[in-house]
Amino acid sequence: MSDLVIPASQFVLLDGVRLHYQVLGKATERLPVIFTHGGGPGSTAWSNFRLSAQAFSADHQCYFVDFAQFGQSQMVAVEGPVFTWHAQTLRAFMDALGLKQAHLVNQSFGGCVALRFAADNPERVARLITIGSQPVDQGALQPLPLFSKHAASLMSDYYLADGGPSLNKMRILLQKYELFNDAKLDEEALLLRFAASNNPDYIQLLHTPNAFGEWENLLPILKQIDVPVLMCWGLHDWFGGIDVPMMMLNRLPNASLHIFGKAAHHLQSECSDEFNGLALSFIGAHK
């Protein structure tokens, strides 16, 4: 997989916002797949899903999309509810590229955006996969660690403390928060994540009041999402126990849940073969 050439960068201007994306694979009779990333430092769609790229692009044209404020996309302030804002940008992206419908494969934050998108644009989504996504403000059994005092400084510690971003700080962050098995750290993804995080324009956003929009609890609207959803969750996910996806499963009308026993938040990296097989089977069931 290390021999896979990184797809060329492409850009599209959407309502004044410059979005970065990469394309792998040729258009076929099968629907395209759009990959979106998590919200951690340096996250991009390619670095989050590069271990899935070869398997998916064999039969699907794949689009790896970086949200505004991530990767090489524009560092602009988000106004209003955060998931709605990015979901509207995702629709504009699909409109601009002529993508009438697609499968959506999403890590963490990206899955929250995708669920909001599916609620508002059900005709544009064939099948939707989330990984560790929790667009809710609490679990069924306990508060979410992401909203605790222990996580309040996670981003500022990485970007602003002790000299700012560094390769070693990124390694520690990935192993602590995203992986169950430290040995499963993808060294190429580590380098990509660090390079993307070392961006003074993003650090400027951290100093801009309200630049990241308003938190949005999607629990009340999950019942509106009738597209097939596959939720994937790592048993050792630091950001929340399995009561979180179970609570969501009880709300989503057409969803299933798969728990990965030896994985944490980035299970597509720790269990790439298992995830790729499961995900391709799920989207392959689309008629």
3-state secondary structure of 44: coil
**pLDDT for the residue 1:** 46
Q: Cα–Cα–Cα angle for 239, 242, 247, nearest 5°?
A: 105
Is 2 domain-assigned? Answer: no
For the chain, how many structural domains are there in total?
Answer: 1
**With 0-12 CB in 10 A as exposed, 13-18 as middle and 19+ as buried, what is 49?**
buried
Least confident of 7-16, 139-148, 237-246: 139-148
**pLDDT for the residue 286:** 59
Which percentage of the chain shows pLDDT scores above 90? Answer: 90
**With 0-12 CB in 10 A as exposed, 13-18 as middle and 19+ as buried, what is 29?**
exposed
Q: What is the DSSP letter of 32?
A: P
Is 161 domain-assigned? Answer: yes
Is 64 domain-assigned? Answer: yes
Run of H or E including 20: strand 17-24
- Per DSSP, what are the bridge partners of residue 229? 128, 255
Residues 253-271: tens digit of each pLDDT: 999 999 999 999 999 999 9
Is 259 domain-assigned? Answer: yes
Q: Is the pLDDT of residue 241 over 60?
A: yes
Do the strands 229-234 and 255-260 form a parallel or antiparallel pair, or are they unpaired?
A: parallel
Least confident of 2-6, 90-94, 210-214, 263-267: 2-6
**C-alpha–C-alpha distance, residues 265 and 134, integer Å:** 11
3-state secondary structure of 74: coil
Is 123 domain-assigned? Answer: yes
Rounded to the nearest integer, the mean pLDDT of the chain is: 95
Is 87 domain-assigned? Answer: yes
Is 218 domain-assigned? Answer: yes
**C-alpha–C-alpha distance, residues 260 and 271, integer Å:** 8
Instruction: Give the mean model confidence (pLDDT) for residues 222-230.
Output: 97
Which percentage of the chain shows pLDDT scores above 70? Answer: 98
Residue-range definition of the domain harbouring residue 122? 10-284
Distance of CA 85 to the CA centre of its chain: 15
Instruction: Give the mean model confidence (pLDDT) for residues 125-136.
Output: 97
**pLDDT for the residue 154:** 87
**With 0-12 CB in 10 A as exposed, 13-18 as middle and 19+ as buried, what is 210?**
exposed
**pLDDT for the residue 208:** 94
For residue 101, the one-letter residue type is: Q
**pLDDT for the residue 287:** 46
Is 256 domain-assigned? Answer: yes
**pLDDT for the residue 37:** 98
Alpha helices in the chain (DSSP H): 45-57, 82-97, 109-120, 154-160, 167-173, 187-197, 200-206, 243-249, 267-270, 272-284
CATH number at residue 231: 3.40.50.1820
CA distances from 90 to 14, 17, 37, 141 (A): 9, 11, 13, 33
**pLDDT for the residue 203:** 92
**pLDDT for the residue 285:** 65
Q: Is the pLDDT of residue 146 over 90?
A: no
